[in-house]
Amino acid sequence: MSSPVSYELEGNIGVITVDNPPVNALSQPVRQGLLDAVTAAQADGSEALVILCAGRTFIAGADITEFGKPLKSPWLPELLAAIEASEKRVIAAIHGTALGGGFETALSAHYRCAVATAKIGLPEIKLGLLPGAGGTQRTPRLAGVQAALELITSGTPIAAEEGQAIGLIDRIIEGDLREGAIAWARDLAASDAPVRRSSEQPVPEFDPGIFDAWRAELAKRARGQIAPEHIVTCVEVGATTSFAEGMAKERELFMECMDSPQSAGMRHIFFAERTAAKVEGLAKDTPQRTIAKVGIIGGGTMGGGIAMSFANAGFDVTLIEVDDEALKRGLGIIERNYAGSVKRGKLSESDAAGHRARIAGSTDYASLADVDLVVEAVFEDPELKKTIFKKLDDTCKTGAILATNTSYQDVDAIAAVTGRPQDVIGMHFFSPAHIMKLLEVVRGAKTADDVLSTVMGLAKKIGKVPVVSGVCYGFIGNRMLKPYGETAQLMLLEGASPEQIDNAMEAWGMAMGPLRVFDLAGLDVGYKARQALSDAEKGDPKSYRVPDLLVELGRMGQKSGAGFYSYDENRRAIPDPAVDKLIEIAAEDLGVERRTITDEEIVDRLISALVNEGRKILDEGIAQRSSDIDVVYVYGYGFPASRGGPMFYADNKG
């Protein structure tokens, strides 16, 4: 079997080429090939070496198929030490993405060049890990402590030009990368440029207090995660002692992270996300319909966010509202969202203007006659949705996909009012839709395979993580949320306070406690839904008595300044003794004996409520696999990725 790494001399320059499709991952043969090439070059007539990659990218990172398996020699740190020790200048030439071990390989070279479109980064933290081959040691020596901590603890790749500005990239190559890199290597050799090892560079001056400041910030940003703290420690040791001591600490803490339940959970989610994109029973060669123009029905917060999601990905969008006033209001929401993105530095003025220009508004359904996809995003009134779909059936061209953004309703019943149920599908976005990554793709009983295939592919194009769900009330996520919320209400009556419940769940790792979530969503939403139900359909009064009483007192949640909490002008939740008293009275009225409830019981009962409903969803075939449920809860409901999702957590707990 031939090596995925080749080596050839072009005059006085040795050219090392990695060709390991699709992303030139650092598999064992690649590591061995690189080591062999660098070793061989020490004895030939080359004056400098260029490492570059065939295909669409530089080394994009580790070989994920090796995760969890014993690594075979050479280890990456061993390889990179050999590259850096080369007596001949080594130049890394980057295109596409150089991530993780790929970027660590570039850092071990003596010089780095890249095309302007390239991106570099160290995303290991997203798997509960830290760079394990010198990334925490070489980066601060080249870019400084502050820039290194920003890059490594965010895990977010940066553009090559930004990398050049902070010292990680030496030169931007215009035109052909191979030609430009070889020409630069010849210039370096001709000028007798030094072999410049990053491990020998001093760390630029820094404020000694920076490490404690970062620890405090990360403790708030990544509650309970060990990798961020360990990254700071590695950088600190390297910056205050020696490269060798820093490398030893990096290896020690990397192995600790690798063996941790947190990394196991985050690696589970990494693979689960990729598995979720595979639809059981759907052939790989299933055709996809062409989508260029998109219509959105409803210009509220959700509809506006969905419109932005498509516009940001380059689609032309038509937003439909009932009248000019509502349309103006909807387009205004979009304008404010883009202005906010510009203010926060997420978008440039020109990019925001370009995205906004793709969104047109109308009050006439005839404007949707030539769209390829329409997404209905009005409020949860099943009869209204059916009325809209009858109009769409009459208006939209043959082959257009008709999608509903419903959070709960029966997609099959909505499809049944049309003459084309095969073209109807659920696309359940999460608010704010232009930011949240999850998309529940609801497959109706008659949804055509090419429609499902198209929407799954489209989800990726607009930056979403798609998960297929069957049809049931609430689909996967919201169906599980019901027993979760009911359990929280029962514990309020039994003796826990709103603050205790929320604090316990947030300390455990949830992005937001359940009662703060309900206040954010609006307590009146559930209240109105319950008014249409019979007493039997409502279920146990213990599961809704407290929120109903709050709504009847005008406490709708954040929108009214009071719900389970009172809220100040900054929407900060403040515990309210009046709510505690109301809960006590409700408990007495319902005959519930109050007692002391521990934080551990709160967590156990709430997570068990999620898991038990998840098992039912799996048994009924609503979800394809348990890992899909984990993806839904991590990406849509603030479940900590470091716990791997509710089903993974339960499986590991036993």
Q: Assess if residue 548 is contained within a domain.
A: yes
Q: How many residues does the chain have?
A: 654
Catalytic residues: 104, 124
Query: In the structure, what pLDDT confidence band is assigned to residue 187 with cuts at 50, 70 and 90?
Result: very high
CATH of the domain at 36: 3.90.226.10
Do 405 and 532 sit in the same domain of this protein?
A: no
Mean pLDDT, residues 178-207: 97
Do 359 and 487 sit in the same domain of this protein?
A: no
* pLDDT tens column, 364-373: 999 999 999 9
Q: Is 90 exceeded by the pLDDT of residue 199? A: yes
**Residue that wins the pLDDT comparison between 325 and 529:** 325
User: Looking at residue 35, what is its pLDDT?
Assistant: 98
Do 316 and 195 sit in the same domain of this protein?
A: no
Q: Assess if residue 186 is contained within a domain.
A: yes
Instruction: Count up the domains in the chain and report the number.
Output: 3
Q: What is the pTM of this model?
A: 0.90
* pLDDT tens column, 576-619: 999 999 999 999 999 999 999 999 999 999 999 999 999 999 99
Q: Assess if residue 283 is contained within a domain.
A: no
User: Looking at residue 1, what is its pLDDT?
Assistant: 66
Q: Is 70 exceeded by the pLDDT of residue 203? A: yes
User: Looking at residue 578, what is its pLDDT?
Assistant: 96
Q: Assess if residue 546 is contained within a domain.
A: yes
Residue 383, classed as helix, strand or coil, is helix
**Integer Cα distance of 375 and 295 in angstroms:** 6
Question: How does DSSP assign 195-255, residue by residue?
Answer: ---GGGSPPPP--TTHHHHHHHHHHHHTTT-HHHHHHHHHHHHHHHS-HHHHHHHHHHHHH
Query: In the structure, what pLDDT confidence band is assigned to residue 71 with cuts at 50, 70 and 90?
Result: confident
Do 28 and 135 sit in the same domain of this protein?
A: yes
* pLDDT tens column, 616-645: 999 999 999 999 999 999 999 999 999 999
CA 42 from chain center: how many Å? 43
Do 93 and 234 sit in the same domain of this protein?
A: yes
User: Looking at residue 325, what is its pLDDT?
Assistant: 95
Mean pLDDT, residues 210-230: 93
| Rg of the chain, C-alpha, whole Å | 28
Do 488 and 452 sit in the same domain of this protein?
A: no
Q: Assess if residue 272 is contained within a domain.
A: no
* pLDDT tens column, 107-152: 999 999 999 999 999 999 999 999 999 999 999 999 999 999 999 9
Last residue of a domain, one of 232, 258, 284: 258
Do 239 and 340 sit in the same domain of this protein?
A: no
Q: Assess if residue 267 is contained within a domain.
A: no
Tokens of 201: 């560079």
Last residue of a domain, one of 418, 453, 469: 469
Do 365 and 246 sit in the same domain of this protein?
A: no
- Residue 417's nearest CA partner among 391, 445, 395, 386 is 386
Do 71 and 197 sit in the same domain of this protein?
A: yes
Do 496 and 417 sit in the same domain of this protein?
A: no
CATH of the domain at 529: 1.10.1040.50
CA 50 from chain center: how many Å? 34
SS3 sequence of 489-537: HHHHHHCCCHHHHHHHHHHHCCCCCHHHHHHHHCHHHHHHHHHCCCHHH
**Integer Cα distance of 440 and 455 in angstroms:** 10
Do 314 and 457 sit in the same domain of this protein?
A: yes
CB-based contact 46:14 (threshold 8 Å):
yes
Element (H, E) at 433: none
Which domain range does residue 512 map to?
477-621
* pLDDT tens column, 275-293: 999 999 899 899 999 999 9
- Report which DSSP code applies to 592: P
Q: Assess if residue 647 is contained within a domain.
A: no
Q: What percent of the chain has pLDDT over 90?
A: 90
Instruction: Residue 654: count other Cβ atoms within 10 Å of its Cβ.
Output: 4
Average of per-residue pLDDT values in the chain: 95
* pLDDT tens column, 473-500: 999 999 999 999 999 999 999 999 999 9
Lowest mean pLDDT across 375-384, 418-427, 528-537: 528-537
Mean pLDDT, residues 176-187: 97
**Integer Cα distance of 430 and 426 in angstroms:** 13
Q: Assess if residue 277 is contained within a domain.
A: no
- Residue 565's nearest CA partner among 500, 620, 613 is 500
Lowest mean pLDDT across 215-224, 348-357, 427-436: 215-224
Mean pLDDT, residues 15-35: 96
* pLDDT tens column, 521-556: 889 888 887 887 788 888 899 999 999 999 999 999
Last residue of a domain, one of 469, 497, 525: 469
**Residue that wins the pLDDT comparison between 224 and 168:** 168
* pLDDT tens column, 553-582: 999 999 899 999 999 988 899 999 999 999
Do 441 and 518 sit in the same domain of this protein?
A: no
CATH of the domain at 313: 3.40.50.720
